[in-house]
Amino acid sequence: MQYTKLGKSGMTVSKVCLGTMHFGGPTSEEDAFAIMDKALEMGIQFFDTANVYGGDGGKGKSEEIIGKWFASRSGSRDQVVLATKVYNPMATGEVPNEDRGISAYKVQKHLTDSLRRLQTDHIDLYQVHHIDRRVTAEEFWGTFDRVINDGKVLYMGSSNFPGWGLAKHQMEALQRGSMGFISEQTMYSLLCRMPELEVLPAAEEFGIGVIPYMPLAGGLLTGKKTSVTGSRTAAVEGEYGIYLGDTNEQMAAFSELCQQIGEKEHVVAIAWTLAHPAVASPIVGVRTVNHLEGLDRAAELVLDDETLAKLDAIFDINRGRPLRTGKPAPEAYAW
């Protein structure tokens, strides 16, 4: 496994992050334990979850499973860089202070509950799951500076923030003498390149390490020929308007290129995200132990300029749009 520093921090993380969104849903507790055992054995020591993850098991189930795993594996907590999130409501129905957003009241409660479920005394990376346009800088950074000073949180990260949001919050943190965010989670893959316009350049400018989620586009970039009805890949086909099958020339060209360079499709897709200088560690949402196969290779694979150019040609999002990929804003859309 290869490692890197996360953003401008001194914290080292594996160049592949284990996503645990499926724990408690399609992935049982037993299978989740096996996945975490194997991931740590492979050197993947960066684990990402959120307080709302849990699928059919209910909100909090993913954190609960990870906490049980820590308790049953002596010393495992000290080996893992643990990331979770706050923002979304945990209660059902309309409950005061449980709406989407950030407040000192809510963060205190949700952080306490996450620590209990995870069976730990601190979170290494506490991420704001979405931007809250209503919260003031005083409350936002006052709240998170306090939990950092209390030792309950080591570093702060963001998720689903626009470029302007990263700049706004980072400047506010710097004015307070705080480190601010060290990471941003954003959807980024060969099939979703919009972050190249604003988010990735802003992150790079402010020393924020990007943790792309869905680098395999829900399975579309794994070399599958068809999707199973009701599967995550089938759902993503509808979201992207891209359907697998013999008539999909784009995926056929992608698979052919991967064969030419002797690499698996999912390995190439993940390595491509790592080729961007702003990217630190793509998150791979694993449902089975078998899904870990090849992730160590993806972390070490360096794609040459010729291969990157061919991938750009295959996954050109400029078709019919006045947008120049590979260029940051404003060059992407202006003279």
Catalytic residue numbers read 53
Relative to beta strand 3-5, strand 12-14 is: antiparallel
Q: Where are the beta strands (DSSP E) in the chain?
A: 3-5, 12-14, 17-19, 46-48, 81-86, 123-128, 153-159, 181-187, 209-213, 283-285
Q: How many helices (H) and strands (E) does the chain have?
A: 12, 10
Q: Which of 82, 91, 87 is nearest to 125 (CA)?
A: 82
Q: What are phi and psi of 134, to 5 degrees?
A: -95, -30
State the Cα torsion 286-27-90-138 to the nearest 10°. Answer: -20
Amino acid of residue 20: T
Q: Which of 277, 279, 258 is nearest to 269 (CA)?
A: 258
